[in-house]
Chain A
Amino acid sequence: MTAIVTQGLSKHYPEVRALDGVSIELEEHRIHGLLGRNGAGKTTLMQLLTGQVFATAGSMQVLGASPVENADVLSQTCFIQESQRYPDTFRPIDVLRIAAGAYPNWEQALADQLVDDFRLPVKRTIKKLSRGQLSAIGIVIGLASRAPLTFFDEPYLGLDAVARRMFYDYLLADFSQHPRTIVLSTHHIDEVANLLEHVVILDQGRVLLDADTDELQHAAIGVSGRAADVDAFLAGREVLERTALGSLASATVTAHDGDERAARDAGLDVSPVSLQALFVHLTTASAAGAASPTAPATDVATN
């Protein structure tokens, strides 16, 4: 079953097209990555899918129905927002109590354990909490709610590397035990790359890439060697990035079957392209393409 289907989904504000004709399908029981630079439209998309804002155009189905003002869908959906505001006078324990009532699958034992592990002071008022502690509230709710569809929008702002790793471990463990659909939006791409089964990259409100992570490992390769050899290899291929240092050059190209061997045969070193690197190349190439449509490749450093 598909957890999320959107068709031509758009959200236009007076001054910006936050989302512009997004059509995606997200399978259920998978961990999806929703990536994009700041202002790419990730949060807007999640706000639309959880009925927090209304679409300008297009349609969407979440868990088989429209989420707008739909209690059946929304009680099965948990959206942890980086920018979530809590009433000033509340304490974390107040928020957790309400969340426990709002989500039918809530697991209190897990919530208690997370509160301990993330050292969340549940009886301190919200306005005295640090950024990381605020994030911890979201993480506790997002995991303990066990909602069939859970969105995490940059869930660990202000948390250190240890706490982030703890979040990944909990996420994986609980996801294994209780499979559900997770949509994870983050700038820490390297950290989550191996957790994701499917990736959607948004750029300026549009879908730049929509693919399984398995496919992405072949989607692009890095080649390096003598500039003349590299340039010969690049001819006729889609170049995402090219840098040169003296007579040496390296480049990232979108790859097709046999490209890797062809590059080796041409005497070039071939390296894999990480999701993070691919993301940077794609969004940079897209920005450059928008600026000057005739030159999709960027020459970062020419000698």
Chain B
Amino acid sequence: MLDDSKPLFVAVAEQIEDGILDGTYAEEDPVPSTNELAAFLRINPATAGKGFNLLVDAGVLIKRRGIGMFVAPGAREALRQRRRSAFQDQFIAPLLREAAQLGITAEDLADMITKEVAR
């Protein structure tokens, strides 16, 4: 359920981000509390809290004292931008590395992508 190649609190933050990106949590809507998420994921509440704080610091979530945390206005678009810039590193680079190992050229790759999209 959580990506175990990253620190746990980063994985927690990313899971909330995924929820915002796919519309599970709409902008200005509340997100689950630290304790709810900790119980759901069976992780330490402090770790869940760190994940939330990461998002608060990034301006993705807004903390309202005594009420809880909410998705910031414009958070979805901002996340999309950020993920796009990371896309190259996270997906394209490993793809090319594997392709090179198998002797697949850049042209072959482009062909394969076009075919996959058409399917």
As a 0/1 sequence over residues 192 to 229 of chain A, the CB contacts with chain B under 8 angstroms (1 = contact) are: 00111100000000000000011001100000000000
Set of chain B residues within 8 Å of A194, measured between Cβ atoms: 8, 41-44, 47
Stretch binding the partner chain, chosen from A120-128, A154-162, A168-176, A281-289: A168-176
Is the interface on chain A under 10, 10 to 19, 20 to 34, or 35 or more residues?
20 to 34
Knowing that A214-B47, A218-B7 touch, tell me 11 more A-B residue pairs with CB under 8 angstroms.
A31-B44, A172-B38, A172-B42, A173-B35, A176-B35, A194-B41, A194-B43, A194-B47, A217-B6, A217-B8, A272-B6
Q: Which residues of A contact B46 (CB under 8 A)?
A: 30, 197
Q: Which residues of chain A are near B35, meaning CB under 8 Å?
A: 173, 176-177
Q: How far is the CB of A129 from chain B (nearest CB, A)?
A: 28
Q: Which residues of chain A come closer than 8 Å to B45, judged between CB atoms?
A: 172, 175-176
Cβ of A274 under 8 Å from chain B: yes
| Beta-carbon contacts under 8 Å, B36-94 to A | 38-39, 41-47, 50
The answer to whether B7 touches A195 (Cβ under 8 A) is: no
> Who on chain B is nearest to A191 by CB?
B42
Interface of A is mostly: helix
Bound form: Cα–Cα A30–B42 in Å? 15
Chain B residues near A165 (CB-CB < 8 A): 42
B4: chain A residues within 8 A (beta carbon): 272, 274
Instruction: For the complex of A and B, list the 5 residue pairs with the smallest distance between their C-beta atoms, beginning with the closest.
Output: A176-B35, A194-B43, A217-B7, A272-B5, A197-B44
CB nearest neighbor in A for B2: A194
What 1/0 mask marks residues of chain B from 1 to 32 whose CB sits below 8 Å from any chain A CB? 00011111100000000000000000000000
Bound CA–CA A165/B8 (angstroms): 19
Indicate if A108 sits at the interface (CB-CB under 8 A): no
Contacts of B6 in A (CB 8 A): 217, 272
Residues of chain B within 8 A (CB-CB) of A30 are: 46
Q: Which of chain B's residues have a CB closer than 8 A to the CB of A177?
A: 35
Chain A 28-47 per-residue mask, 1 if CB under 8 angstroms from chain B, else 0: 00110000000000000000
Pick the residue among B5, B8, B34, B42 that contacts A271 (CB under 8 A): B5
